Amino acid sequence: MGKTGRIILYSFLAIVALFILFIANSFFGNPISKNMAKNAAIEYVEEHYKGEGFELERVFYSFKSSDYIAEFRVPGSLDRHFRLCLNKSGKVEIDTYENIADLTCTKCRLSREYSDFINPYIDKIAYTYGNESFMVSELMFLESIDEDKFYNKRRMKISDLEIDKKYNLKKLSAEIGSLSDHIYSDDVSASKASEIVLKIKKDLADEGISFQEIYLSLSEPFIDGDKKVSVTKELTFVISRKDICDDKKELERRVQKLIDEQYDYFYSPKED
């Protein structure tokens, strides 16, 4: 290979190498910037949160935000952890420390634990409602005193949570667990809805699980051939566990009342 050929080859290889470095830098950052971010994060925590016991867990590059993320945690703590987002020059752009004090970390941890706890029970009973059932459950927290009247009486104030406390999830489910189920059915009526909520209550009771409320959406899909493309009729309501009684006629009356109340609340004209 002649001199000119070698120059062209080396130039090509250099361009390829630079391109690879550019791609790698875009997805993983670079060691120099990462080290700068690490040192800057440690200095920042030493300055702002000295004596609180935080230790650096890891530093990584986020290609989505083009920032370096430094994660800190108090060893052994469930909720005392936060993130710093730093730019490539090591300046702190975002500090999530306040999520500890405002109990967001505790709330999120508790929600994850509850999902892991409740999902096996839901999965076990959900299949009995057919393929047209979409069932989930979550813990309901009161975000604001201005929430709708249908919900706020059966919520737990976030301010009542305790950092690092291990909660009895079965007890918590009975107090603030909300089960949501969206079911497609040819029968969209208070009678059918009553049958469903009573069955859900009994099925979960057989598993030793209770809850505070059920949010049910019952709808009749519009069918175009074998494909369901939209909903033509739907009813929704929220009912507390204590209102789900074994008397079918009384339960149907309660369900119809809740359907009417919710419809009036959300769709009736409001006075200024």
Residue spans per domain, the chain: 3-101, 104-267
Question: Per residue of the chain (272 residues), what is the pLDDT tens digit?
Answer: 565 655 555 454 455 444 444 444 444 447 778 888 999 999 999 999 999 999 999 999 886 767 899 999 999 999 999 999 999 888 999 999 999 999 999 999 999 999 999 999 988 887 666 556 678 888 888 765 445 555 556 688 888 999 999 999 999 999 999 998 888 888 889 999 999 999 999 999 999 999 999 999 888 876 655 555 555 688 889 999 999 999 999 999 999 999 998 877 766 655 55
Reported as half-sphere exposure (CB side, CA atoms, 13 A), residue 206 has a value of 8
Per-residue model confidence (pLDDT) at position 10: 47
What DSSP line would sit under 143-197, residue for residue?
--TTS-TTTGGG-EEGGG--TTPPP-HHHHHHHHEEEEEEEE-S--SHHHHHHHH
Answer whether 0.95 is exceeded by the pTM. Answer: no
Instruction: Answer whether 153's CB lies under 8 Å from 97's CB.
Output: no
Kindly tell me the burial class for residue 206, based on how many C-beta atoms sit within 10 Å of its own C-beta (0-12, 13-18, 19 or more): exposed
Rounded to whole angstroms, how far apart are CA atoms 170 and 156? 15
Per-residue model confidence (pLDDT) at position 48: 96
The sign of the torsion formed by the CA atoms of 123, 124, 128, 129 equals: negative
The sign of the torsion formed by the CA atoms of 20, 26, 28, 31 equals: positive
Reported as half-sphere exposure (CB side, CA atoms, 13 A), residue 50 has a value of 5
Per-residue model confidence (pLDDT) at position 221: 72
Tokens of 98: 């306040």
Per-residue model confidence (pLDDT) at position 167: 96
Per-residue model confidence (pLDDT) at position 90: 87
Provide the β-strand partners of residue 138. Answer: 178
